[in-house]
Amino acid sequence: MPQDDLTTPDDIVIPGAPAPVPPSLAEPTEPVDPLPPQPDQAGPATVSPTGAETGLPAATVAQQGSRLTTAQGVRLRDTDHSLKAGPRGPVLLQDHHLREKITHFDHERIPERAVHARGAAAHGVFRSNGAAASVTRAHFLQPGVTTRVFTRFSTVLGSRGSADTVRDTRGFSTKFYTEEGVYDLVGNNIPVFFIQDAIKFPDVIHAGKPHPDREIPQAQSAHDTFWDFVSLHTEAQNHTMWNMSDRGIPRSYRMMQGFGVHTFRMVNAQGDTSLVKFHWRPKLGTHALTWEEAQLAAGKDPDFHRRDLADAIESGAFPEWDLALQVMPDTVDETFEGIDLLDPTKIVPEELAPLQVVGTMTLNANPTNYFAETEQVAFHPGHLVPGIDVTNDPLLQGRLFSYLDTQISRLGGPNFAQLPINRPHADVNDMLRDGMHQTAVHSGVAPYKPNSLDGGCPFHAGADEAAFTDLPVRVAESVKERAQPAGFDDHYSQARLFYRSLTPIEQLHVAEAYAFELAKCYEQAIKERQLQALANIDADLCATVADALGLPAPAPTVEVPDAPVSPALAMVGDTWPIDGRIVGLFADEQTDPGALARARAAVHAAGALPLVVAARGGMLGGIPVQRTAHTAASIEFDAVVALTAAADPRTARLFDEAFRHGKAIGATSAAEAVLSGARIPADAPGVVVGTPEEVVAAVLDLLPAHRVWERWQAPLR
Looking at 116, 279, 383, 706, which residue is catalytic? Answer: 116
How far is Cα of residue 3 from the mean position of the Cα atoms in its chain? 43
Length of the chain: 717
Distance CA 126, CA 211 (A): 41
Q: What 8-state DSSP symbol labels residue 69?
A: B
| CB 591, CB 1: distance < 8 Å | no
Active site (annotated) includes residue 429: no
Looking at 123, 139, 188, 223, which residue is catalytic? Answer: 188
Residue in 243, 174, 203, 662 with CA at minimum distance from that of residue 421: 174
According to DSSP, the residues that pair with 148 across neighbouring strands are: 125, 177
Distance CA 151, CA 124 (A): 8
Give the three-class secondary structure for 483. Answer: coil
Residue in 536, 527, 553, 544 with CA at minimum distance from that of residue 495: 536
Give the three-class secondary structure for 339. Answer: strand
| CB 666, CB 641: distance < 8 Å | yes
Distance CA 353, CA 129 (A): 20
| CB 382, CB 404: distance < 8 Å | yes
Q: Phi, psi at residue 456, to the nearest 5°?
A: 85, -5
Q: What 8-state DSSP symbol labels residue 457?
A: P
How far is Cα of residue 665 from the mean position of the Cα atoms in its chain? 28
Nearby residues of 162 by Cβ (< 8 Å), 6 or more positions away: 117, 118, 155, 218, 219, 302
Active site (annotated) includes residue 188: yes
| CB 121, CB 364: distance < 8 Å | no
Please state whether beta strands 170-178 and 609-614 pair in parallel, antiparallel, or not at all (unpaired). unpaired
Please list the active-site residues.
116, 188
